Amino acid sequence: MQKKIAYVFPGQGSQAIGMLDSWSDDEAVRSTIDEASRVLGLDLWSLIRNGPGAELNRTDNTQPALVAVSVALLNAWRARGGVSGAMAAGHSVGEYAALVASGALTIADAIRVVRARGEAMYTAVPPGTGGMAAVIGLDDETVRQLCASCAHHDVLAPANYNAPGQVVVAGHVAAIERLGRHAREAGAKIVLTLPVSGPFHSPLMRPAADALHAVLGTVQIGEPAFAVWQNSDLRRATRAGIRDALVAQLVHPVRWTETIRRFEEAGVTHIVEIGPGEVLTHISARIAPGLCCLATSTPALMDTAIQAVAS
């Protein structure tokens, strides 16, 4: 059977202090992080290695750190002879790494944009006003109905369709609390409030979307060399549409379940997660058990993945 590879790039929540410790001697990784550090005017190596955690987890630092690490590992994959991806997608801010992989954005521009994106998202909603929660054990339509019935005069909406039975919602804190009570009554196994600084991928991010639109107007965008599936509308990214899609992403849900199924329909055989952790590896395997899903967060995992797609 002919193999077809799709890259996936993780979003916030995959970061961790020490996430590049096993890569400190890799030239491709070091040079990429050094370039990102120069763009930011920040020692990313120190932040990634030593924290403190509160600094790494601050949205305006987390986002450029994740994109830098993902692109660094992509460069390591390529330097080690890894099979080229035929298509790609990224979860939330991971979409920027996917666009860098495709050649539509330079790493320097991507890092500058996501730093501004993180700052705008952090300040879009006053602290304590909004948040996010993971709802485990209910289907997508039930969660949508619960959001509508629990919103009252607040904002509450699905933010991430991560996998069957796993939906993240975002909105005002009071509405999330109401949904938590009713979701358990509806049969949810878990309703978990997430430790994030705002209601991402919801209409409350409109001020951040407006700020991001202005920043994206300052960068050059090229035509992707291969298919990149957009979070917000599941369309293939084009030079003409990338800016609008990245802005829309902030106020619309990440449709990850449908993205992986789009890969299946396109004949993908292997999904390779390029970035820290294994979150997308696990949830993608849940969505599409017939696909081979591989992580690359350590040299050993990457070498295993390279062998798996090459043999």
| Residues labelled catalytic | 92, 201
Half-sphere exposure of 69 (CA within 13 A, CB side): 36
DSSP 137: S
The CA–CA distances, whole Å, from 270 to 11, 52, 261 equal 20, 36, 13
Q: Are 100 and 225 in contact (CB under 8 A)?
A: no
The CA–CA distances, whole Å, from 79 to 4, 28, 73, 151 equal 19, 7, 10, 49
CA distance 83 to 265: 20
Run of H or E including 292: strand 292-295
DSSP 201-227: TSGGGHHHHHHHHHHHTTS-----SSE
CA distance 13 to 277: 9
